[in-house]
Amino acid sequence: MNLSYIANKSFAKKPSILQGFGLSFGLGMTYFSLLVIIPLIALFAFSFKLEWAKFVEIISDSQVLSALKFSLSTALFAATINLILGFIVAWSLARYDFFGKRLLEALIDLPFALPTAVAGIAIAFLLSSNGIVGKVFLLIGVDFRGTQFCSGCRGTYLCGDSLCDSHARACDKGLG
C-alpha cells in the first residue's frame, strides 16, 4: 500500500456546484416546519383531547353537515365538467389540426405558470357583479355571488391544470 499517496490525498469535501445549498435547505426546512408540520402535529395531538360524544356532536352539527354537503357536491360538479370538457379538448388537440390550436394549447398550459390563488381571485372577479362575465349575466337577471356555480368554476380550474399533460399529448402524437 502506498502510504505517501494516502498522506497527500486531501479528505476535504469538494466544493458544491450549488453554493450555500446546506444553509438554504436548512432555513427552508425550518420555515416549512414552522408553518406546516408543527401546526399539523398540534392539530393531530389536540384532536384526541375530545371525548367521543363531543366529537359526534360537532360532526353532526347542521353547519358542519351543510359545509360537507356543499364541498362534496361542488367537487362532484367540477369533476363532471372537467371530465366532459377535458375529454373533448384532449381528443380535439390530439387528433385534429385547426386554426388556433397553438393558442388553445398555450391557454391550457397557462395554469401551470399562474399561481392557483391568483387564478381563483381572477375567476371570482370575472363572475362577480363588477366583472365582465358577471355584468353580462346581471343584465339577464343572473347573479353569481355566493353561489355554488362560482365554487364549481374555481374547482374546475384547479382540476383542469393537473389533468392535461403536454408530455402525454406529445407521446400520443408520436404513436400515431
Q: Which of 11-20, 23-32, 88-97, 130-139 has the lowest mean pLDDT?
A: 11-20
> Residue 156's pLDDT is what?
57
Domain boundaries, the chain: 15-49, 61-175
For 148, the grid coordinates are: 355554488
> Residue 68's pLDDT is what?
92
121-135 pLDDT, tens digit each: 887 788 777 888 888
For 120, the grid coordinates are: 381563483
133-176 pLDDT, tens digit each: 888 888 888 776 666 565 555 555 545 544 455 555 555 555 54
**Of 9-23, 63-77, 99-113, where does the model show the most confidence?**
63-77
> Residue 65's pLDDT is what?
94
> Residue 149's pLDDT is what?
60
Tell whether the model's pLDDT for residue 81 goes beyond 80.
Answer: yes
CATH code: domain 61-175 is: 1.10.3720.10
> Residue 140's pLDDT is what?
85
> Residue 126's pLDDT is what?
80
For 127, the grid coordinates are: 363572475
pTM (2 decimals)?
Answer: 0.47
Query: What's the distance, CA 37 to chain centroid?
Result: 19
Element (H, E) at 68: helix 62-95
Name which residue leads in pLDDT, 88 or 144: 88
Q: CB count, 10 Å around CB of 82?
A: 20
DSSP code for 48: T
Nearest to 150 by CA among 117, 125, 132: 125
Name which residue leads in pLDDT, 149 or 40: 40
Name which residue leads in pLDDT, 75 or 146: 75
Tell whether the model's pLDDT for residue 2 goes beyond 70.
Answer: no
